[in-house]
Amino acid sequence: QMEVTAYIPGEGHNLQEHSVVLIRGGRVKDLPSVRYHIVRGTLDSDGVSKRRQGRSRYGAKRPKPGQAAAGRGGKK
């Protein structure tokens, strides 16, 4: 096993110290020595909740039709 520093994309996460995660390549320019990203929605990492657009990259399931309209509430 190897220990690396990986970026957790999206808002918030449920990961703890000994969580098992799947990683993919892809560096983060602003953070030195961070060369990997964690794949959200696999193994111990949950997807981003309340994600509407670009869901595939964040492991978010498609919302049910009734919940999408009711959950918004901002626009008129």
pLDDT per position as a tens digit, 14-45? 889 999 999 999 999 999 999 999 999 889 88
Tens-digit pLDDT profile for residues 56-71: 888 888 888 877 555 5
Q: State the pLDDT at residue 68.
A: 57
CATH number, position 31: 2.40.50.140
For residue 10, CA distances in Å to 66, 73, 75 come to: 24, 22, 23
Contacts of 61 (CB under 8 A, 6+ apart): 47, 55
Residue 56 lies in a domain: yes
- Asked if residue 66 belongs to a domain, the reply is no
- Domain count for the chain: 1
pTM of the model: 0.76
Domain that holds residue 15: 1-61
Domain for residue 42, yes or no?
yes
